[in-house]
Amino acid sequence: MAQRWTFTVQTPLGETHSTYTITDDALFYESDDPLAGDNATVGWRTIQEGSTATMQGMGGRGGPDLPKWVPTQMEWLVLTRRDDVEIAFMRRLPPPGADRDALLAAVRERLGTRWLGEGLPLKEAQQRMGTQSQEWSGLKVAGIVVAVLGMLVLAILLLALLLTPFVLVPAGLVGGGWLLRRGLRMLGDCKAAEGMAAAKVGRARVGLVHIEAPAETATPTRAAITGRACAWWDVAAWVWYESDSEDSGGWRRVASRHGGSVESIDIGDETGTATVWLNGAELLLDLRSWESDKDTLPPRGIALLDTLGFPWHGGQRLRVTEECVEVGATLYVIGTLDLRRNVPASLAPGRLERIVDAIRTGAWRRNVVAAAPAFMRIVLAVFIGFIDMLTGIGTARMRPRASRDAAPPVLPPDARVVWKGHGDRPFLVSDRPGQGALAALRKRAWITGGIGAAILCFVVYELVA
């Protein structure tokens, strides 16, 4: 009878799904990793020795958050073969837990005395088992490093090209026009919302509605700083870094944590309940902030910072922010009310939104590497990982960005749902009082539209200069 373990590992290209299958005759490994040659089959009779090998990763307590694909420790299953040690099996193991332990127990059972043990340092395991692969010789590694540096130079040259008027002008027309249109649309949303009276949840009619009702959730989570019961929360820790000038500096994010789900939120009052599907909503939530030289941080926040390695009273100037939706807090919602059966399976974003989505979520990485020639894939993967490492320090553990094409919540067909609606209908969700929410949206609209107008003015200047 076959035994199977499927697990997910974060990589620079996104999530990689892998499966180990064990039968009486062989071990099978399958993976959707776009890098070539990752699937393998090893017969038990052909195995000479086996063990696990480990290597320390990067990051850890007291350092800024690194991308999720950067592990603090890596572990592989290593198997050498009787017929050809040059093609030894070496693949990542599932993360620590029941699946990893069960997989290794099954391997140990079949290898018997050929099993050397667990946790051997990678170099020691390779030397002891003779698995140094010519595929990863020093010359090849050096070649990859040179190729990545070459791509970095090309990226800098490409960036310089993108900053020329030949590219900036059309890009400015598109980007500035989009921002200006978005700002004007938000101002239109404010105008539409100002004249709408608040309705009770159970009495609101299908169509554009204005509802003010307490937030509800079946699975509350405690906010990491204040400890309040929330539908979801997001926390960030910042460190003040001095610049070369004594009078200037800046806050740099070093860590982020989150809890709960932001896909949807329930609201309810004495007349009934409804689910707000938040895809495409303008979220305007109060942001609470504490600074180490000014404020008293709640005990839960102090404990969290201690676990991260940034003690609140450790001498560094720190800032902590918390944004959340508290259970029972009144939410101000303007959106389209309908029955779940009438809500489409997705919002079907346009081409530009899909491109922006792919950039925001990182979905483009796997497609680009998979489409590249086989000899270039490893170089591209290393280059993407290097850039992600540079740009993701301190922000990598923020809440993942959801795709605009995400499916609505699973609910009964006659459940009441507030969503974005068709066309350019307003969709606003805020935990501020009605006028405060509209004032915040109006401010955001003027800032967004103002940036768009400034970009368009720059484009016009470049055209006439």
pLDDT one digit per residue (tens) for the chain, 465 residues? 789 999 988 877 777 889 999 999 999 999 887 764 568 889 998 888 899 988 887 777 778 888 777 777 888 898 888 765 456 788 889 988 899 999 999 999 999 999 988 888 887 777 776 665 544 556 666 777 788 888 888 888 887 877 777 778 888 898 899 899 989 988 888 888 887 888 899 898 899 899 999 999 989 999 999 999 999 999 999 999 887 655 667 899 999 999 998 889 999 999 999 999 998 888 899 899 999 988 999 999 999 999 999 999 888 899 999 999 999 999 999 999 999 999 887 665 666 666 666 666 666 777 777 777 777 878 888 888 888 877 777 877 788 776 666 788 889 999 999 998 887 788 899 998 777 888 888 899 999 999 999 999 988 887 876
Q: Which of 115, 133, 151 is the last residue of a domain?
A: 133
Supply 426's token pair.
């307003």
Element (H, E) at 108: helix 98-111
Q: Which amino acid is at 85?
A: V
The C-alpha atoms of residue 375 and residue 35 are separated, in whole angstroms, by: 10
CATH code of the domain in which 64 resides: 2.30.29.30
For residue 65, the number of C-alpha atoms closer than 13 Å in the C-beta half-sphere is 23
- Our count of domains for the chain comes to 2
Alpha helices in 251-398 (DSSP H): 299-308, 351-361, 364-371, 374-392
| pLDDT at res. 85 | 47
CA angle 205, 208, 213 (to 5 degrees): 70
For residue 115 the two structure tokens come to 């099993």
CA R_g for the chain: 27
Residue 214 CA to residue 255 CA, distance in Å, equals 31
Give the rounded distance of the alpha carbon of 293 from its chain centre. 31
Q: Please give the residue range of the domain that contains residue 121.
A: 3-133
Q: Are 318 and 308 in contact (CB under 8 A)?
A: no
User: How far apart, in whole angstroms, are the C-alpha atoms of residue 219 and residue 458?
Assistant: 49
Phi/psi region, residue 399 (left: phi>0; alpha: psi -120 to 50; beta: rest), is beta
Q: Give pTM, 2 decimals.
A: 0.73
Domain membership of residue 303 (yes or no) is yes
Residue 168: inside a domain:
no
Is 337 a domain residue? yes
Domain-terminating residue out of 133, 168, 190: 133
Same domain, 246 and 341: yes
- 72 token code pair: 């603090």
pLDDT at residue 134, as a whole number: 46
Judgement on whether residues 211 and 268 belong to the same structural domain of the protein: yes
Q: What is the dihedral of CA 322, 324, 327, 333, to 10 degrees?
A: 150
Strand 26-31 relative to strand 14-22, pairing: antiparallel
- Same domain? For 33 and 101 the reply is yes
> Tokens 């950039």 appear where?
359
91 and 230 in a single domain? The answer is no
Any domain includes 465: no
Last residue of a domain, one of 133, 168, 185: 133
Please, are residues 329 and 217 in contact by the beta-carbon 8 Å criterion?
no
Whether residue 125 sits in one domain with residue 236 = no
C-alpha dihedral sign at 75, 81, 84, 85:
positive
State whether 78 and 184 are in the same domain.
no
Number of H helices, E strands in the chain: 9, 20
Given this model, what pLDDT does residue 180 score?
93
Which DSSP string do the residues of 42-82 spell out, in sequence order? EEGGGEEEEEEEEEE-S--TTS----TTS-SEEEEEEEEES
- Contact of 245 with 261, CB cutoff 8 Å: no
